[in-house]
């Protein structure tokens, strides 16, 4: 038997024996951008499968190509699958960029350079009206909205993309090769605009290691939670998964909650809220939804909304916290549908008025946008939604948002099934922000 194993093992090595040496993988791939949160900065992240230097060469569009060179660092990421595949994740932060200027760049080393890409440095002015595309639940297989998003991003329609959890389905599968291919798929978006993320349940395997290693979000929490500012908006990204994967540490839930409280306190200091009146959150699993499944958001006692009583100590939920600090807009995914809610708190509708529900609403507004496209297809709705459900669609698609100024924020839903048709839109108008706006 032992002999048989030895023969099989030798046969499996046959290609290596013939070629003598394995291939060298120093060519950069999976290039993507993120915003480190400091005005005038941008972070470039990419992958190689052998160790190389980490360099970005860049310059202003129209000027001499690549007149500036910056070094960064790489980290070794070993996927926890059977093959223990190793890859190097390279990170370089560019700083001192001129706001609203377009830069041309490539990344790599003298052992291999990427294609040439470009990006526009984020404008740090409070008068900036940034445009976003946002969605969750985009996979390697059946990524129906991907081509439209690639085209629109390269046409310059967006300043930032928000991916609200659930990537690739799943990044760890096939020993991380699904993650590699997904990161190659989104390169046509994410190499051109910052791709800001939060973790979803599909990232949980091996304690979210593929998510934490492949993305580069600000805040030194490996992207689990963080906040950043753009134009008149203070963005907060959270991990709803801390309410579900207690095996990775209940302390994560409490640490995130304490951080959130501190961050919201800071965002509500009068001078901060005056400069950035909009407070927008994003997290993967919604606290409300009207889908026909047994997910957390279909339950009145949603963990995300109300917390958990089965932990010691009991874990607080997010609804009261967000309400008490006057969060204006809450972006979610996970349900493979689109749903817009009326302003809601404690399961009750708090419209601004009957005629103008989104003008000076008396509670946060929720959008659930998890229908970008993945192998699990779309979900079904419960035929009897609650009063807070304002509009819903099972079309594949994504959401666009523009934070126009201190009082006006626009949202619209694109149906990919209907060739890019806008099937829903609202203007959220607020003369006043913060907890006093609810009175």
- Does 369 interact with Fe ion (rule: CB under 5 A)? no
Interacting residues of 239 by C-beta distance below 8 A, sequence separation 6+ = 198, 199, 224, 225, 252, 256, 283, 284
Angular region, 117: left φ>0, alpha ψ -120 to 50, beta rest: beta
- Does 200 interact with Fe ion (rule: CB under 5 A)? yes
**Closer CB to Fe ion, 88 or 169, in the complex:** 169
Rounded CA-CA distance 382/263 in Å is 36
Bridge partners (DSSP) of residue 340 are 367, 391
Q: Which residue is nearest to Fe ion (CB)?
A: 334
**Closer CB to Fe ion, 336 or 433, in the complex:** 336
- Does 57 interact with Fe ion (rule: CB under 5 A)? no
Bridge partners (DSSP) of residue 428 are 409
Using the rule CB under 5 A, give the single segment among 20-28, 47-55, 165-173, 220-228 that binds Fe ion.
Answer: 165-173
In the complex, least distance from residue 321 CB atom to Fe ion, rounded to whole angstroms: 22
**Closer CB to Fe ion, 120 or 201, in the complex:** 201
Using the rule CB under 5 A, give the single segment among 77-85, 177-185, 199-207, 425-433 that binds Fe ion.
Answer: 199-207
**Closer CB to Fe ion, 283 or 343, in the complex:** 283
**Closer CB to Fe ion, 368 or 403, in the complex:** 368
Using the rule CB under 5 A, give the single segment among 47-55, 122-130, 162-170, 421-429 that binds Fe ion.
Answer: 162-170
Rounded CA-CA distance 208/156 in Å is 32
Buried b (16+ CB within 10 A) or exposed e, 323-343: bebbbbbbbbbbbbbbbbbbb
In the complex, least distance from residue 201 CB atom to Fe ion, rounded to whole angstroms: 4
- Does 307 interact with Fe ion (rule: CB under 5 A)? no
**Closer CB to Fe ion, 201 or 394, in the complex:** 201
* 264 three-class SS: helix
Rounded CA-CA distance 196/42 in Å is 12
Rounded CA-CA distance 287/77 in Å is 33
**Closer CB to Fe ion, 348 or 377, in the complex:** 377
Q: Which of 166, 330, 335, 416 binds Fe ion (CB under 5 A)?
A: 166
Footprint on residues 309-348 left by Fe ion (CB under 5 A): 334
In the complex, least distance from residue 33 CB atom to Fe ion, rounded to whole angstroms: 24
Footprint on residues 206-235 left by Fe ion (CB under 5 A): none
Tokens of 96: 């001192």
* 225 three-class SS: coil
In the complex, least distance from residue 376 CB atom to Fe ion, rounded to whole angstroms: 9
1: part of which helix (H) or strand (E)?
Answer: none
In the complex, least distance from residue 334 CB atom to Fe ion, rounded to whole angstroms: 4
- Does 201 interact with Fe ion (rule: CB under 5 A)? yes
Rounded CA-CA distance 49/27 in Å is 8
Interacting residues of 122 by C-beta distance below 8 A, sequence separation 6+ = 35, 39, 42, 99, 128, 130, 159, 160, 194, 230
Using the rule CB under 5 A, give the single segment among 66-74, 200-208, 271-279, 304-312 that binds Fe ion.
Answer: 200-208
In the complex, least distance from residue 144 CB atom to Fe ion, rounded to whole angstroms: 17
Binding mask 110-149 for Fe ion (x = CB under 5 A): ----------------------------------------
Bridge partners (DSSP) of residue 138 are 167, 373
Buried b (16+ CB within 10 A) or exposed e, 255-264: ebbebbeebb
**Closer CB to Fe ion, 148 or 336, in the complex:** 336
Using the rule CB under 5 A, give the single segment among 92-100, 194-202, 310-318, 319-327 that binds Fe ion.
Answer: 194-202
**Closer CB to Fe ion, 72 or 200, in the complex:** 200
Tokens of 359: 């003008």
**Closer CB to Fe ion, 211 or 350, in the complex:** 211
The closest of 110, 203, 195 to 146, measured between CA atoms, is 195
**Closer CB to Fe ion, 121 or 287, in the complex:** 287
Element counts in the chain: helices (H) and strands (E): 9, 28
User: How many angstroms from the chain centroid is the CA of residue 284?
Assistant: 9
Give the interface size with Fe ion as a residue count (CB under 5 A): 4
* 5 three-class SS: helix
Interface residues with Fe ion (CB under 5 A)?
A: 166, 200-201, 334
């Amino acid at each position: 038997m032992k002999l048989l194993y030895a023969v099989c093992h030798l046969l499996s090595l046959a290609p290596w024996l013939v070629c003598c040496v394995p291939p060298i993988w120093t060519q950069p791939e999976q290039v993507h951008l993120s915003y480190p949160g400091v005005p005038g900065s941008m972070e470039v992240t990419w992958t190689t499968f052998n160790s190389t230097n980490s360099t970005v060469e860049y310059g202003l569009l129209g000027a001499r190509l690549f007149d500036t060179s910056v070094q960064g660092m790489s980290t070794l990421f070993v996927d926890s699958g059977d093959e223990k595949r190793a890859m190097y994740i390279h990170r370089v932060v560019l700083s001192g960029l001129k706001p609203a200027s377009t830069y041309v760049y490539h990344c790599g080393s003298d052992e291999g350079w990427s294609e040439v890409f470009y990006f526009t440095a984020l404008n740090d002015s409070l008068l900036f009206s940034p445009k976003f595309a946002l969605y969750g639940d985009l996979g390697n297989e059946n990524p129906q909205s991907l081509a439209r998003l690639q085209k629109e991003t390269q046409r310059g329609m967006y300043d930032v993309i928000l991916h609200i959890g659930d990537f690739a389905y799943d990044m760890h599968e096939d020993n991380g090769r699904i993650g590699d291919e997904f990161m190659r798929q989104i390169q046509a978006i994410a190499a051109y605009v910052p791709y800001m993320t939060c973790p979803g349940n599909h990232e949980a395997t091996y304690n979210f290691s593929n998510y934490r290693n492949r993305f580069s979000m600000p805040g030194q929490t490996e992207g689990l939670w963080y906040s950043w500012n753009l134009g008149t908006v203070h963005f907060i990204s959270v991990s709803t998964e801390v309410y579900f994967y207690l095996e990775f540490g209940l302390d994560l839930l409490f640490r995130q909650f304490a951080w959130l409280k501190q961050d919201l306190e800071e965002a509500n200091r009068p001078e901060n809220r005056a400069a950035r009146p909009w407070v927008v959150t994003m997290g993967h699993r919604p606290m409300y939804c009207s889908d026909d499944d047994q997910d957390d958001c279909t339950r009145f006692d949603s963990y995300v909304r109300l917390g958990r009583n089965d932990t010691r100590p009991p874990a607080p939920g997010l609804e009261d916290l967000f309400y008490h600090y006057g969060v204006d807009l809450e972006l979610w995914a996970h349900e493979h549908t689109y749903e817009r809610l009326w302003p809601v708190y404690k399961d009750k509708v708090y419209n601004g008025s009957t005629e103008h529900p989104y003008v000076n609403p008396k509670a946060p507004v929720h959008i659930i946008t998890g229908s970008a496209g993945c192998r699990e297809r779309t979900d079904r709705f419960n035929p009897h939604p609650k009063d807070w459900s304002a509009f819903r669609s099972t079309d594949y698609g994504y959401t666009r948002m523009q934070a126009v100024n201190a009082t006006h924020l626009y949202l619209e839903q694109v149906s990919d099934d209907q060739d890019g048709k806008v099937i829903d839109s609202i203007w959220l108008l607020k003369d006043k922000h913060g907890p006093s706006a609810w009175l």
